[in-house]
């Protein structure tokens, strides 16, 4: 009933969506005992180690927490810079 | 006869554990099962008042465990349903009066004489919770569709798994369909997606729960109450029946309003 009125005034709160997004993050941290800060330093250290071996673009890297059932997994998508560019040198 | 032990827990307080325990006990006994429910909240007993049996307590669970009475003597028989019994909690002791192995021993003694043993767990994750889940064959987690209850439910589900008492099954209590429709309450699907656990039932928010609790008459005895119907459905699922989830749509729809009007007019 109130739908059109809310659209008109732009005042639709939809706080449930807000609750869901907040809970998603809180549950990740509760389940893994990882704070957002710790996750960030994990990410930085991981990148530092990987760049010792291969060339990567830190801006293209995606490291996230994913939920699969009640299992949490750390998903890292790390595109490598292609090797043939290096070969140009010799 | 060998009873199935079901523990009802939640992490957070006030989500409806005791109401759920009382109503499932009543519904299971009404369906022909022989049921004993145990109040695990030593020091803060309440299952007795919700069931309306508070005036008949002589002995309690701690008396039985410490040998001051036989287990039979601590059991109060319900007036309405002859196959329903309550073992009340002690009010002047604390959770440490009983250990998890005491609970296992108590339930093993009761198992041959019953179909169902329901244990009402206290809130929290400490000794009282550990006592309550120790003898469980199945653990039911009660939650409400709001952030703090869902968060605590997640924590408790993890602990139940760690204690090898899982997988827990979920009851979402106090659902308000109008709020969900407005986008201001987590829907059951959202809660299930977040908690990733199997659903046993949903219970709508219903004023008749308050009224029936005032009277000490569990709402599952009231065939007109929607919450009562929801608890009866859950009891049937525990009995292995496949009962579809109650539709919470159109609670205030035209036909509902009409039938309400007709009903009140007819009385």
Global confidence as pTM: 0.86
User: Which contiguous run of DSSP H or E holds residue A52?
Assistant: helix A36-53
18-37 of A, contacting B, C-beta below 8 A = 19-20, 22-24, 26-27, 30-31
B180/A23 Cβ within 8 A: no
pLDDT at A71 (0 to 100): 85
Residues B247, B149: Cα–Cα separation, whole Å: 23
State the nearest Cα–Cα gap between A36 and chain B, in angstroms. Answer: 17
Q: Is a pLDDT exceeding 70 seen at residue A11?
A: no
pLDDT at A2 (0 to 100): 47
Q: What is the pLDDT of residues B108-127, one digit of tens each?
A: 999 999 999 999 999 999 99
Chain A neighbors of B158, CB-CB under 8 A: 31, 70
pLDDT at B253 (0 to 100): 53
Residue A57's SS3 state is coil
**DSSP output for B237-258:** HHTT---PPPP-TTTTSHHHHH
Q: What is the pLDDT of residues A43-59, one digit of tens each?
A: 899 999 999 999 998 88
Q: Average pLDDT of A8-26?
A: 82
Ordered structural domains, chain B, with CATH: 4-263 (3.40.50.300)
> How many residues in total does chain B contain?
267
How sure is the predictor about A1, in pLDDT bands with cuts at 50, 70 and 90? very low
End-to-end CA distance of chain A: 72
Q: What is the pLDDT of residues A26-44, one digit of tens each?
A: 998 899 888 888 888 988 9
- Residue B84 dihedral angles phi and psi, to the nearest 5°: -115, 130
pLDDT at B138 (0 to 100): 98
pLDDT at A7 (0 to 100): 56
Residues B75, B91: Cα–Cα separation, whole Å: 16
Q: Which residues of chain B have pLDDT under 70?
A: 249-267
**DSSP output for chain B:** --PEEEEEE-SSTTSSHHHHHHHHHHHHHHTT--EEEEE--TTS--HHHHHT-GGG--S-HHHHHTTSS-HHHHPEEPSS-TTEEEEPPPSSS-GGGS-HHHHHHHHHHHGGG-SEEEEEPPSSSSHHHHHHHTT-SEEEEEE-SSHHHHHHHHHHHHHHHHTT----EEEEEEE-HHHHHTT-S--HHHHHHHH--EEEEEEE--HHHHHHHHHT--GGG-TT-HHHHHHHHHHHHHTT---PPPP-TTTTSHHHHHHHHHHHHH-
pLDDT at B250 (0 to 100): 54
Higher pLDDT, A8 or B133: B133
Pick B184's closest partner by Cβ from A13, A26, A31: A13
Q: Both tokens of residue B89?
A: 């909690």
Burial class (CB in 10 A: 0-12, 13-18, 19+), A44: exposed
Which ipTM was obtained for this model? Answer: 0.84
State the nearest Cα–Cα gap between A64 and chain B, in angstroms. Answer: 17
pLDDT at A88 (0 to 100): 52
pLDDT at B248 (0 to 100): 80
How sure is the predictor about A84, in pLDDT bands with cuts at 50, 70 and 90? low
Mean pLDDT, all residues of chain A: 81
pLDDT at A34 (0 to 100): 83
Chain B neighbors of A2, CB-CB under 8 A: 182
Mean pLDDT, all residues of chain B: 93
């Amino acid at each position: 009933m109130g739908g059109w009125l809310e659209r008109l005034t732009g005042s639709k709160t939809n706080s449930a969506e807000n609750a869901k997004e907040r809970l998603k993050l809180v549950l990740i941290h509760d389940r893994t005992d990882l704070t957002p800060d710790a996750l960030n330093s994990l990410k930085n250290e991981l990148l530092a180690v990987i760049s010792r071996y291969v060339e990567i673009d830190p801006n293209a890297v995606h490291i996230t927490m994913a939920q699969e059932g009640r299992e949490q997994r750390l998903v890292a998508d790390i595109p490598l810079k292609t090797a043939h560019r290096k070969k140009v040198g010799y | 006869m060998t009873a199935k032990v079901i523990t009802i827990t939640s992490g957070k307080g006030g989500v409806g554990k005791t109401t759920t325990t009382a109503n499932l006990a009543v519904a299971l006994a009404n369906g022909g099962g022989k049921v004993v429910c145990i109040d695990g909240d030593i020091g803060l007993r309440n299952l007795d008042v919700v069931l309306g049996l508070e005036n008949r307590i002589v002995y309690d669970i701690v008396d039985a465990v410490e040998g001051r009475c036989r287990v039979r003597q601590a059991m109060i028989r319900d007036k309405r349903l002859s196959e329903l019994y309550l073992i009340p909690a002690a009010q002047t002791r604390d959770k440490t009066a009983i250990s998890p192995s005491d609970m296992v021993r108590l339930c093993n003694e009761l198992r041959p004489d019953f179909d169902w043993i329901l244990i009402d767990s206290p809130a929290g994750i400490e000794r009282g919770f550990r006592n309550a889940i120790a003898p469980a064959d199945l653990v039911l987690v009660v939650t409400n569709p709001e952030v703090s209850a869902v968060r605590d439910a997640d924590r408790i589900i993890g602990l139940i798994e760690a204690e090898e008492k899982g997988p827990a099954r979920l009851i979402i209590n106090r659902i308000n369909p109008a709020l969900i429709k407005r986008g201001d309450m987590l829907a059951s699907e959202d809660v299930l997606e977040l908690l990733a656990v199997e659903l046993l039932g949903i219970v709508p928010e219903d004023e008749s729960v308050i009224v029936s609790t005032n009277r000490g008459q569990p709402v599952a005895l009231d065939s007109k109450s929607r919450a009562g119907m929801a608890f009866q459905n859950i009891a049937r699922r525990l009995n292995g029946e496949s009962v579809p989830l109650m539709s919470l749509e159109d609670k205030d729809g035209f036909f509902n309003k009409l039938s309400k009007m007709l009903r009140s007019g007819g009385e």
